[in-house]
Each structure stands twice: as C-alpha cells, then as structure tokens.
Amino acid sequence: MIAAADRALPPEESKAVGLTVEKCVPLGAKILGADMGLLLNDDERVPEVVLGALEENGVLVFPELGVDDAQLVAFAQRLGDPIGSGHTGAGRSGLNPEIYHVGFGDDLNNALYVKGAFNWHLDGSTDDIPSMASLLSGRALAAAGGDTQFVSTYAAYDRLTDEEKERFATTKVVHSAEAAYRKFDPNPSDEAIARLRKVAPKVHPLVWTHRTGRKSLVLGATASHIEGMDEGEGAAFLVELLERATAPEFVFTHKWSVGDLVIWDNRGTLHRATHYAEDSGRRMHRVTLVGDEPIS
C-alpha cells in the first residue's frame, strides 16, 4: 500500500494515465475517463493517482462505471486490504464475502445498520483503528431519498478558531455503539441495550493528528460525551459541534445513478445516507478497506 505522505500527485500525472480529476464543491471530485480495463490492468500509477486524488479531495465519484462484484473487489485490492474476506453474516454472501450488501430486506438482515447510516458517522469509531476508505457501488435506487452525503472533518477542524484549536487539543470523547443506536431508537429494549454494551466504548481524542500533519475532528453518531465533563453538557456540546461541521454549505451530496462508484476517505470525512423507505428496493454493494492509522 502507498504511504499517505506519498499520495499527492500533480494533475498532469492523472492525465498521463488517462484519468481526469474534476473538482466538486464544497469537497470531492469526479473521476472521468475511467473504465475497468484501465483501473484493473494499468501499472501502479493508477492506484497512486486514485489514492492521491482521494487524499486531496476526500470523496471520488466514478460516474456510471458499471462495476460488477468481482471487479469491485479486485479494484479495492489495488488500493488496500478489503475487510471481510473469509467471513459471512448479515449483509454478506459467501460468494464475495468482502462485499457488504447495503439495503433493507429479510435476505440481508441488517436493517439496524441501515437505519444507523441515516446519521452522520465515521466508520469504525469504536475501534482503535477505523477503516481507511470504502468503495460503494450503486445497484438499485430508491424512488425518493437514498442520496449519500459527505463533509470534510479536515475542513471542520480548519474552521475552528485559534482558541478552540488550543482548547480542543486535549479533549477526549467517549464513543459507543449505544450512543449511535439511541439516535434512531431513543428507548431501546433491555435486550438491545445488553447487545449494544457488548461493544466496549472507545475513548478518542476530539482532534485527530494524522501522520501527514493534517488534523481533523472525530465526531458523529457514536460520540456520546466528553471525558471529565458533565455527560449532558458534553453531549450537548458534541451535538452543537457536529451541527457546525455539517452545516448545509459544507455538505457534498451525491445523487446516485445506477452503476456509479463512490470512494471516500473514512479518516477525513463523515458520511450519511438521506432517508429512504424500507420497501424502496435500494441496494448498494460496498467494500471497506482496513485502516492504516490509529486515531491519535
């Protein structure tokens, strides 16, 4: 895997491999000129260009690429190490266990995951090392809703005042699966609470200092309260800070077409799906890449 510090490449390098990076506002970029032959069979410059563009832009959209499951896994393997190989369970199949099937349906048995994804979150925030990135392929769309939205947590940090940056430098936040669950079910059953509490809470710094030197905020649905502060006061503070980070002018919304492929840098963005009906038929196939740096 290419080190993060080596990923920033000049635009001419992208064009040299046949790709055009077209910036979006307020973050993200479209990758034009891509096809699976190029993405899977070109030399190592293609992964370099893609990872460099991801580091710089946070979100990459490959419009109507039409990738199938085998191609999705193969492309993910060129960028990193896919999570889930050799596993089955809710949302996965034995044929391509690296692929997580996102959607409602008895065949998937992952409705709780999908409901949780309607809130802003960072994947793996109750882990020591969150995932590096995810690749999401659009297979079937909802008639209404089902967009995917992103904000940059690097930009959210940069917008803090100097006084806030100094004050937040030592702030520690408790993250838990229960906090995320209560966002869509404020009164969970005793059984649900017992299941959620099997996932141990994780304490992370509010400010993530990356090995590149960049800094981002660690926020989202799992952020429960602040160490050393009254729980209610800390929870209210985190809600206010998240609202600032996700104000509409800072949000990139991807409106899906069938066949789109979207990749996001999980270390520097938050994401969520806009609400869609459980009977909408919306289906996405996702591969997530193993994390490559702890939150510190």
**pLDDT tens digits along 42-69:** 777 899 999 999 999 999 999 999 999 9
Compute the distance between CA of residue 157 and CA of residue 111 in angstroms, rounded to an integer: 32
What is the predicted pLDDT for the residue at 1?
A: 33
What is the predicted pLDDT for the residue at 12?
A: 57
DSSP letters spanning the chain: ---GGG----HHHHHHTT-EEEE-SSS-EEEES--HHHHHHS-THHHHHHHHHHHHHSEEEETT----HHHHHHHHHHHS-BTTTT---TT--SSSTTPEEES-STTT--HHHHHHTTS-B-TTTTSSS--SEEEEEEEE--SS---EEEEEHHHHHHTS-HHHHHHHTT-EEEE-HHHHHHTT-SS--HHHHHHHTTS--EEEESEEE-TTS-EEE--STTEEEETTS-HHHHHHHHHHHHHHHT-GGG-EEEPP-TT-EEEEETTTEEEEEPP--TTS--EEEEEEEPP-S---
Dihedral class, residue 18 (left if φ above 0, else alpha if ψ from -120 to 50, else beta): left
* Residue bearing the bigger pLDDT, 102 or 108: 102
pLDDT tens-digit readout, 236-251: 999 999 999 999 999 9
* Residue bearing the bigger pLDDT, 42 or 23: 23
What is the predicted pLDDT for the residue at 72?
A: 97
Report how far Cα 110 is from the mean position of its chain's Cα atoms. 18
pTM of the model: 0.92
Question: Could you say which architecture CATH assigns to the domain 4-110+128-139+254-267+275-289?
Answer: 4-Layer Sandwich (3.60)
Query: Per-residue pLDDT for 280 more than 70?
Result: yes
pLDDT tens-digit readout, 127-159: 989 999 999 999 999 999 999 999 999 999 999
How long, in residues, is the chain?
A: 296
Q: Provide the token pair at 30.
A: 């479209």
pLDDT tens-digit readout, 71-103: 999 999 999 999 974 444 455 555 788 999 999
Q: What's the whole-number mean pLDDT along residues 14-23?
A: 83
Domain parsing of the chain, residue ranges: 4-110+128-139+254-267+275-289
* Residue bearing the bigger pLDDT, 7 or 92: 92
Query: Per-residue pLDDT for 22 more than 90?
Result: yes
